[in-house]
Amino acid sequence: MRYADLHLHTYHSDGTRSPREVIDLARERGITIVAISDHDNVAAYFEIKPYANERGVTLISAAELSCIVDGHDVHILAYAFDAADERLEQRLRQFRATRERRGAQMVEKLRALGYPIERRRVEQLAAGGALGRPHVARALVEAGHAGSVSDAFDKLLGSGKPAFVDKERFRVDEAVALVRSVGGVTSIAHPTLYPNHEELVPRLLDAGVDAVEVFHPKVDAEWSERYANVARFRGKFVTGGSDDHGAAKEIETLGTVRVPESLLGPILERL
C-alpha cells in the first residue's frame, strides 16, 4: 500500500521548502504520492516532475484556490488537471499579479503605521511565487517589528487588523468549472476551519465540488468521520494532506498525514 500527502506548500507560495526538499522529505517519511498545492501557483509541478519520477514519487498536479462563498473565505484544492492547459494558468497569473499589488499596499500601510519594511525584501521572500501575508509577516519579524509570524498576524495582518488588505478571490462555481474544464477535480480544504462549515460542506458538494479534505492536522477524528460520511453519501470522495508550510508555520507537519492510495481512485485514474 502506498501513502499520499495531497496538501503541501513550497516557496512558490508561502511555504519555505523547495519542491525538491518536499519530495525528499516525503519519501523519507514513507509518502510516495505527493501533490504540491501552492496557493495560486502550479510552478512546483513543472519544476519537480522529472525529479519526482526519478525518485519513484507520483507527483499530482495541484493548487490551492482562495474562493469566496457568501462573504466567507473558502479554500478549494484542485487536483490532477492538465497543468499545461493555459486556461488555468492564465487565471492564476492574474491572481498572482493582484497579490503583488496587494503586497505593496500592505507595505505602505505598515510604513504609515510605524512598522517600516522594504517592499523589495517582501518580494525576495516571495521569490517570484504567489506573494502572501506570510511573506509580509516574515519581513516584519526580520525587521524586529513582530516576535513571530503568528504575532504579526495577530497584531497587524489578520483579517480586520490595521495592515490587512483583502485579496481577490474566485467565486467557487468559477473555480469548480475552470478546474473541471482542464480535466481536474476539486476538494474542500480543511473543512472545519470555516465558521459555518456544517451547512457549507454539504452545500459545496451539492454545488459540484468532488471531495472533502477529511485528513488534515486541524480536522479532528470525529469531524473527519462525519465528513467522510457526508461525502460518501453523495457519491463524492475524500482527500487529505499535512498542509505543511515548512518553517513558515510554528509546526512542521509533513509526514503527519498519510492517506492510503486506495481512497484516491478519482485522482489516480486521471494521471
Is 123 buried (19+), middle (13-18) or exposed (0-12) by CB count in 10 A? Answer: middle
Residue type, 212: V
Single out the residue of 12, 17, 226, 245 in contact with ligand AMP (rule: CB under 6 A). Answer: 245
Residue type, 37: S
Q: Which stretch binds Fe ion (CB under 5 A): 74-82, 103-111, 148-156, 197-205?
A: 74-82
Measured from the CB of residue 190, what is the shortest distance to Fe ion in angstroms? 6
Q: Which stretch binds Zn ion (CB under 5 A): 59-67, 94-102, 107-115, 231-239?
A: 59-67
Instruction: Assess 5 for contact with Zn ion (CB under 5 A).
Output: no
Selection from ligand AMP, Zn ion, Fe ion, none that 167 binds (CB < 5 to 8 A by kind) is ligand AMP
8 sits in which H/E element: strand 3-8
Instruction: Assess 14 for contact with Fe ion (CB under 5 A).
Output: yes
C-alpha–C-alpha distance, residues 114 and 118, integer Å: 13
Instruction: Assess 133 for contact with ligand AMP (CB under 6 A).
Output: yes
Instruction: Find the binding residues for Fe ion in span 176-195 (CB under 5 A).
Output: 189
Grid cell digits, residue 130: 504567489
Hey, which residues does 77 pair with through a beta bridge?
64, 187
Single out the residue of 5, 38, 40, 243 in contact with Zn ion (rule: CB under 5 A). Answer: 243
C-alpha–C-alpha distance, residues 75 and 218, integer Å: 14
Measured from the CB of residue 80, what is the shortest distance to ligand AMP in angstroms? 22
x-or-dash pattern for ligand AMP, window 145-164, by CB under 6 A?
Answer: ----xx--x----x------
Say if residues 89 and 42 touch (Cβ distance below 8 Å): yes
Measured from the CB of residue 268, what is the shortest distance to ligand AMP in angstroms? 26
Cβ nearer to Zn ion, comparing 80 with 117: 80
CB atoms within 10 A of CB 217: 17
Say if residues 155 and 149 touch (Cβ distance below 8 Å): no
Q: Which stretch binds Zn ion (CB under 5 A): 90-98, 207-215, 216-224, 235-243?
A: 235-243
What's the gap between Cα 89 and its chain centre? 16
C-alpha–C-alpha distance, residues 245 and 15, integer Å: 4
Grid cell digits, residue 83: 497543468
Only one residue has cell 513558515, namely 248
Single out the residue of 5, 14, 210, 244 in contact with ligand AMP (rule: CB under 6 A). Answer: 14
Strands in 170-171's sheet, in edge-to-edge order, are 170-171, 62-69, 72-79, 185-188, 211-215, 237-240
Measured from the CB of residue 143, what is the shortest distance to Fe ion in angstroms? 21
C-alpha–C-alpha distance, residues 205 and 165, integer Å: 30
Measured from the CB of residue 269, what is the shortest distance to Fe ion in angstroms? 25
Measured from the CB of residue 171, what is the shortest distance to ligand AMP in angstroms? 17
Instruction: Assess 240 for contact with ligand AMP (CB under 6 A).
Output: no
Q: Kindly list the residues in this chain that would bind Fe ion in the complex (CB under 5 A).
A: 14, 75, 189
Residues interacting with ligand AMP, by CB under 6 A?
14, 39, 66, 132-134, 149-150, 153, 158, 167, 245
Which residues of the shown chain bind Zn ion in the complex (CB under 5 A)? 64, 243
